Amino acid sequence: MSFLFGQPGGSQLYFARSMAPFLAILSAWGAAALVPPDRANRRVAAALLGSALLGGAIMTALVVAGPERPPSVIRMSRRDVALALVQPYLAAVLVIVGLGLALVLLRRRYAALRGISAALVVALVLGLGLTRLIPLVRGPLDHVRTTGGLAYVIGNGSQGRPIAPGGVEAARWLRDHSDPDDVVATNTHCRDVVDGRCGNLHFWVAAYTERRILVEGWGYTPSANRVRGDEPPSQRPFWRPDVLAENDRAFTEPTRANLDRLRDRYGVRWLFVDDRYDRPAPELDDVARLRFRAGNAAVYQVP
């Protein structure tokens, strides 16, 4: 069902990923069951590996020959969407069918192909997924940054922003030194920036502080999905620009009046700062009390 239906934020894919270990075990078991016990030798293993590499080469050629980015379905008709979904796989299906027919004909002449033809086709299909390894082979340090056991894909231009150095320590300090009902304001909202638009899936401050954030990320919410526009839901603007402006003004124009407004109107008691991209004005130290700093993260208390 995860591959038949979509959610605007792509959250169904997280459930699909949880099946990967079990599917890998079942795939290995099924592929092994296709090879007769008396044919399980190094030559057959080499043939299966070659078939998988062939599948990877075919899909790599399709990726290289295809567009750099998928077309935007927002401006497409249903017919164009259907064609865009079918075209990338049509050539691969034709190759697989052609290989299957060739094996049916060749195994009559070559006895070595008898009993393993189905396994060769399955290996080819499995090899189509090898293209996922291309970024890792091409430049692992440039494309993947590992943080806390999770891989964040980064690249040139619109790169993902991992957790700030010192961010977890600062967030945990705030959790341990604040009341569960306290509200926090932060100056960081974008997980990435794509074509000048904020990627609104930024939640690590709320996750590690375990506190309510006035405005951090706003993706995956009903309000964000109700906003209409050409942008995908993960890049749509916040539906309360006045609240966002008051939140950010406490960092860009830190005055006593701006902080009092956050405290009295929204109940904000703490400020969480990530100074990597939106460094606050130096006057913040004059109107708020610095309580903790680690790396690029800092915690201020609103007086």
- Residue where a domain stops, chosen among 88, 117, 138: 138
Asked whether residue 172 falls in the same domain as residue 115, the answer is no
Higher per-residue pLDDT: 188 or 14? 188
How many domains is the chain partitioned into structurally? Answer: 2
Higher per-residue pLDDT: 132 or 209? 209
Are the C-beta atoms of residues 218 and 200 closer than 8 Å to each other?
yes
User: What mean pLDDT do residues 48-68 have?
Assistant: 76
pLDDT tier for residue 138 given thresholds of 50, 70 and 90: low
60 domain-assigned: yes
Per-position DSSP letters for 47-116, written without gaps between them: HHHHHHHHHHHHHHHHHHHS-SSPPPGGG--HHHHHHHHHHHHHHHHHHHHHHHHHHHHHTTT-GGGTTT
Are the C-beta atoms of residues 193 and 230 closer than 8 Å to each other?
no
Asked whether residue 133 falls in the same domain as residue 171, the answer is no
User: What mean pLDDT do residues 246-272 have?
Assistant: 96
> 3-class DSSP state for residue 177?
coil
24 domain-assigned: no
1 domain-assigned: no
In this predicted structure, what is the pLDDT of residue 155?
A: 34
pLDDT, the chain, mean: 80
Distance separating alpha carbons of residues 39 and 57, to the nearest angstrom? 26
Higher per-residue pLDDT: 224 or 213? 213
Beta bridge partners of 274: 297
Which residue range is the domain that position 98 belongs to? 34-138
For the chain, percent of residues with pLDDT exceeding 90: 35
Asked whether residue 174 falls in the same domain as residue 128, the answer is no
Higher per-residue pLDDT: 40 or 265? 265
User: What mean pLDDT do residues 265-270 have?
Assistant: 97
User: What mean pLDDT do residues 165-187 have?
Assistant: 96
pTM of the predicted model, to two decimals? 0.60
pLDDT tier for residue 151 given thresholds of 50, 70 and 90: very low
